[in-house]
Amino acid sequence: MSVSIDLSGRRALITGSGQGVGAAIAATLAEAGAEVFVNDLVPERAEAGAAALRSQGFAAQAAAFDVTNLEAVTESITAIGPLDILVNNAGNAGGDGWTAMAPFHTTSPSEWNKFINVNLYGVMNCVHAALPGMIQGKWGRVVTIISDAGRVGEPSMASYAAAKGGAAAFTRAVAHEVGRYNITANNISLGTMRTPLSEERWANISEADAKVVLQRYLVRRPGLPADVAALALYLVSDGGEWVTAQTYPLNGGYSVAL
């Protein structure tokens, strides 16, 4: 039996898709036939990402906006027009791509907010703007990229975990609200990833330090953007229509879910 996923006619916005995991998801959905809108906070990255997809013959447009700004999000998504697929990928884990770690009692609200604004409010803003079109069209897929820090909790990452955990709970709640419109909403929970933001550190990490980072992973390597794109593709497809309100760990066995 051969299995293929065809997203022809679908319109997909992937936030934070100018690079890394988001870029891989955008490319995979474009290859499956979707018209892709490449979002990034940096306009040049959004334009470059969309241009790279168009050069391969795919339908892609840039959509640069700040997910933390509801007014900008609403204006941009209104201009794009009704979406079939929203992938909430934009997020921040620390200045150099590795999650900033500090005991919670040593942190301040200004540090909490930089995680909550992007990882939680950014998701809420985009879903708020995208849902009306999906409801009107009676079809939609929402996928939110979270972290195992938010799913199982991690020490010294409390504010980041709170933001990611909140985004997961929000996405599940939305799934309950919109399932009757043939709209699904799911989470993909990531472990340690190797992306362009963290590439320099991975390239220079010692064998001993890499072993410490990966010792809890049954598959002893970091996750790659392609790993995430493969699961996202299924969840946004027609075949995923009976899968909703779920959180899927994609983490090389770092933690388990029953």
Task: Parse the chain into domains and list their residue ranges.
Answer: 11-247
Cβ-in-10-Å burial (0-12, 13-18, 19+) of 74 comes to middle
Q: What is the pTM of this model?
A: 0.94
113: helix, coil or strand? Answer: helix
Contact by Cβ (8 Å): 128, 71:
no
Q: Which residue has the higher pLDDT, 194 or 236?
A: 236
Closest to 140 in 3D by CA, of 81, 170, 174, 182:
182
Contact by Cβ (8 Å): 90, 118:
yes
The catalytic residue positions are: 160
Q: What is the pLDDT of residues 92-115, one digit of tens each?
A: 875 544 556 899 999 999 999 999
Question: Could you report how far apart the first and last alpha carbons of the chain are, in Å?
Answer: 28
Quick one: tokens of 203? 């390239």
Whether residue 1 is predicted with pLDDT greater than 50 in this model: the reply is: no
Q: What is the pLDDT of residues 15-48, one digit of tens each?
A: 999 999 999 999 999 999 999 999 999 999 999 9
C-alpha separations of 32 from 75, 179, 238 in Å: 27, 24, 12
Looking at residue 100, its pLDDT comes to 65
Q: Which residue has the higher pLDDT, 4 or 248?
A: 248
pLDDT confidence band for 204 (50 / 70 / 90): confident
Contact by Cβ (8 Å): 194, 202:
yes
Average pLDDT, the chain: 93
Looking at residue 195, its pLDDT comes to 83
Q: What is the pLDDT of residues 169-197, one digit of tens each?
A: 999 999 999 999 999 999 999 988 888 77
Whether residue 203 is predicted with pLDDT greater than 90 in this model: the reply is: no
Looking at residue 256, its pLDDT comes to 81
**Type of residue numbered 5:** I
Looking at residue 199, its pLDDT comes to 78
Q: How many residues does the chain have?
A: 258
* Structure-token match 């009676």, residue found: 138
Please compute the mean of the pLDDT values over residues 123-129 and round it to a whole number.
98
CATH superfamily of the domain spanning 11-247 = NAD(P)-binding Rossmann-like Domain (3.40.50.720)
**Type of residue numbered 148:** D
Distance CA 121, CA 142 (A): 15
Looking at residue 49, its pLDDT comes to 98
Neighbours of 198 (CB within 10 A): 19
Closest to 201 in 3D by CA, of 99, 110, 96, 117:
96
